[in-house]
Amino acid sequence: MYVTRVPNRGSPPAVLLRESYRDNGKVKTRTLANLSHWPERKVEKLQRALKGLPATRDLAESFEVSRSLPHGHVAAVLGTARTLGVEDLIDATPSRRRDLVTAMLVAQVIAPESKLATARGLRTQTATSSLGEVLGVSGADEDDLYAAMDWALARKDAIETALAARHLNDGTLVLYDVSSAAFEGRTCPLGKIGHARDGVKGRLQIVYGLLATTAGIPVAIEVFDGNTADPKTLTAQINKLKTGSDCRGWPLSAIAA
């Protein structure tokens, strides 16, 4: 197929789409369409396409992208969290607070930042990914995130009980480690000067202990005064495992290591 222009006396040439074919060994031509009503730029594009030539203009220039939010990493992390049943662990009943907690957990994986920066990354006007839109929390601010954290803290025992039931069996071995974190501010009642395990010396800190399975799956976490010694934190975890004082229903024969 090809495009040809046929003179038309005093009128503009007729623009025709034609093809050649053989009939009893003779080359003949037939007209497939009259393109005279097409704009010239459209005719030129068809001519180049029929000749196998590239477009004269990059197709990307034909579009104006006003905004494009990254989504792949959000889909991967949020999808994995849902496969693991993280949302149901937080609370079996869907709610905006559960969505906010889920958003913070996902954000800590894809872009760990302060709560203020996380809130900015969720909001429609300043979004850095599709996370806020996907979870329906694109209108949240940092106060909403802190309120959701308070709500999650009140559910801590229930969450740890669910994790223990899922990952700890009778006689299983558990792993426990302690670290510390320095922070700004003077109003935290747990903030004390102590042994700086994170290497930041001379500042108020908190001490926290994480209880996990041998596969590294977190089961429980507890925060202590910043000057708490390691042995004192370990005793609290052993008591938790033996008596279930903080989380009823834990396997009684689990061993702290």
Domain assignment present for residue 111? The answer is: yes
Of 76-85, 113-122, 194-203, the range with the lowest mean pLDDT is 194-203
Same domain, 139 and 193: no
Percent over 70 (pLDDT), the chain? 91
Same domain, 194 and 237: yes
Burial of 131 (0-12, 13-18, 19+ CB in 10 A): buried
Domain assignment present for residue 163? The answer is: no
Query: Domain boundary at 62, 90, 113, which?
Result: 62
Domain assignment present for residue 224? The answer is: yes
Domain assignment present for residue 241? The answer is: yes
Is residue 256 very low, low, confident or very high in pLDDT (cuts 50, 70, 90)?
A: very low
Per-residue pLDDT averaged across 41-59, rounded? 81
Domain assignment present for residue 181? The answer is: yes
Same domain, 78 and 58: no
pTM, to two decimals: 0.68
**250 has a pLDDT exceeding 60:** no
Same domain, 78 and 150: yes
Same domain, 232 and 197: yes
pLDDT in tens, 150-198: 999 999 989 998 998 888 877 778 899 999 999 888 888 999 999 998 8
Residues of the domain holding 247: 168-256
Same domain, 240 and 188: yes
Same domain, 89 and 49: no
Handedness of CA 141, 143, 147, 152 (dihedral sign): positive
Is residue 255 very low, low, confident or very high in pLDDT (cuts 50, 70, 90)?
A: very low
Same domain, 138 and 80: yes
Category of 146 on φ-ψ map: left (φ > 0), alpha (ψ -120 to 50) or beta:
alpha
Query: Domain boundary at 34, 62, 90, which?
Result: 62
Percent over 90 (pLDDT), the chain? 55
Same domain, 175 and 251: yes
**Cβ neighbours of residue 74 under 8 Å, at least 6 residues apart?**
106, 110, 129, 130, 131, 134
Domain assignment present for residue 43? The answer is: yes
Number of structural domains the chain divides into: 3
Query: Domain boundary at 154, 184, 203, which?
Result: 154
Same domain, 127 and 183: no
Domain assignment present for residue 161? The answer is: no
**206 has a pLDDT exceeding 60:** yes
Same domain, 149 and 173: no
Same domain, 231 and 197: yes
Domain assignment present for residue 55? The answer is: yes
